[in-house]
Structure 1
């Protein structure tokens, strides 16, 4: 008898059983997104972005990573696909709003483009999973701007000779005149004895502010702005922190009266808006669109408005000016009405 054991080759091989839990665990194919995020943060910091922009970028990626982990989805640079991004965006639309979801979409697009670039590794060898067609549709809303009557009512709340009223009148006038960002305006330095850091040039009718990313920009001022600013500077000279503070705008209460902050500006505008009886909250960004509209309505070119505002592209002029474009069109039509010109020619 032979000692050789023959195996039945026709017998089916038994497959190894796996639990539902183990099947749900995604197998990583690339670098984990948390490590990629930490590297991206270093790259963003090297670009010297504004703190608000930096937080927006990184918060979106953190939210996406939390979503992937919470749904047992792949969380590495290679395995994430468009369906995962799409599901996250849809969830954010229903959880918050289309506008908030759009911010996440744009931030994730920047992140994945970096991962696909040489600077980012590339950690992803295929195309970005953030597809152009998946961008959420954000319904356009008409922004509330500051009308001429509203601005007069705001100015009327600060007509006394007190330090606070002189300061607030100057701020209200400069905001309406040129629409600078709150952070840029409130960080204007006043060091007349140190010209290199002195940002106020009344004779040249301008102030120097820092834009997003740290670029410097001279904001032009009209005669009314210069007059209000000069009047405030005289009151500033009697302030207890006038000689020690390098900042133009000084506070009157709180822990740091040597520097009025952007938050202080927002509080002031909200308070003045209530005193003036203006519907809706008055905040600095309302003035950005207001100045854009007023300049365009007065006949300024888009290129001139771009320079005044310190924008890098003409697209921002269209973005801030489109809300009142119909009003400007109606005013233009009132001047150039074909029917009116025809009637005048027949008389």
Structure 2
């Protein structure tokens, strides 16, 4: 691995261990920066020998010597020529600027090569938002499916109710432990981006769905996992004598609120599949993932008269500017309603 590659690994460890960035964010930085390192290798390989030797001269020591503004601009230009979206180029530029700044502040480079790097601003598209009727219809279908007490159906109903009621990110939802729920006060303690903790409320329908799942669905999923483990072990007498209350799943679900088919913590991919299936028949454009319910909750709060600052706190946004996108969504929805309903629209 080149010195630049080693520096990238150290920077990713810094983001993960000191900055407490989420695994998803660190993975995005890793993909961008390792692509940058490969691009730098190919550019060095194509350079004339005298130029390459000059780039490796001893008066430019350290991994920062491999990184300069020209290289970063060439990398973005190459991505543009390959047809990358403006949002992808903007993300790459942000990854490179953060890395270059860290190289300078950590003493691995003499200057910040990314300080003057610019990229096209990403096109800001409005997020997907369900109408109140569409959201109510989906939740009613899930409630009906869970009426007979099937454990997975109870879980799916509770998952979607809580996604919408508390406007959770999918990572926040699957990371919940039982102790994070305050069922008497209908609140949930959430660990959001940057390891920031917040407490958010949820309403009566979500409370009913959660109570049914926790009292009927979750114990059944735990029991299924224990039975599967018992069968795999050959049904020894020691295992057979264990009571249902003593059984624990083998894959980390002992404290998790939402459990998967094997009794471990439900993963984000399963939630994505669930929501994508639900939204497949719902009219509207935009991504059909769990974030649609977060967008929907925020927009419905503003439509109902909630203050922007309150919605910011509810969502756990560090910047009010991030929350303001939902004011644009509400305005657009108003325009659509006007065009549909007003006789002189």
Match of 1:42 among 13, 25, 32: 13
Match of 1:294 among 292, 295, 300: 300
Kept in 2, the 8 Å contact 1:302–1:317? The answer is yes
Which residue number corresponds to residue 155 of structure 2? 167
Instruction: Detail structure 1 runs of 4+ shifted over 6 Å in the superposition.
Output: 329-332
Which residue number corresponds to residue 259 of structure 2? 250
Which residue number corresponds to residue 165 of structure 2? 177
Change (3 A) 1:154 1:39: same
Which residue number corresponds to residue 70 of structure 1? 42
The 1-side partners of 2:335 and 2:277 are apart by: 33
Change (3 A) 1:186 1:80: closer
SS at match of 1:137: coil
SS at match of 1:116: helix
Match of 1:94 among 81, 94, 99: 81
Kept in 1, the 8 Å contact 2:167–2:295? The answer is yes
Unaligned runs of 5+ in 2: 48-54, 57-62, 224-244, 249-253, 339-345
The 1-side partners of 2:282 and 2:308 are apart by: 33
How far residue 110 of structure 1 moved from its aligned partner, in angstroms, is: 0.6
SS at match of 2:64: coil
Unaligned runs of 5+ in 1: 1-30, 191-197, 333-347
The structure whose Rg is larger is 1
Within 5 Å, give how 1:223-234 maps onto structure 2. Answer: 223-234=204-215
> Is the counterpart of residue 221 in structure 1 residue 192 in structure 2?
no
Deviation track 1:314-347 (CA, whole Å, cap 9, x = no partner) reads 1221245434433357889xxxxxxxxxxxxxxx
Change (3 A) 1:115 1:93: same
Change (3 A) 1:127 1:200: closer
Within 5 Å, give how 1:186-201 maps onto structure 2. Answer: 186-190=174-178, 198-201=179-182
SS at match of 2:222: coil
Change (3 A) 1:93 1:257: farther
Aligned length: 290
How far residue 79 of structure 1 moved from its aligned partner, in angstroms, is: 5.5
Match of 1:309 among 301, 304, 315: 315
The 2-side partners of 1:173 and 1:231 are apart by: 12
The 2-side partners of 1:289 and 1:187 are apart by: 20
The higher relative CO (CA closer than 8 Å, separation ≥ 6) is in 2
Which residue number corresponds to residue 53 of structure 1? 25
SS at match of 2:65: coil
TM-score for both structures, normalised by structure 2: 0.75
The 2-side partners of 1:164 and 1:278 are apart by: 26
The 2-side partners of 1:260 and 1:321 are apart by: 33
Higher helix fraction (1 or 2) = 2
Deviation track 1:33-85 (CA, whole Å, cap 9, x = no partner) reads 22322332332232232111112122211111111111226584136332221
How far residue 211 of structure 1 moved from its aligned partner, in angstroms, is: 1.2
Change (3 A) 1:235 1:94: farther
Match of 1:153 among 127, 133, 137: 137
Match of 1:131 among 97, 108, 116: 116
TM-score for both structures, normalised by structure 1: 0.74
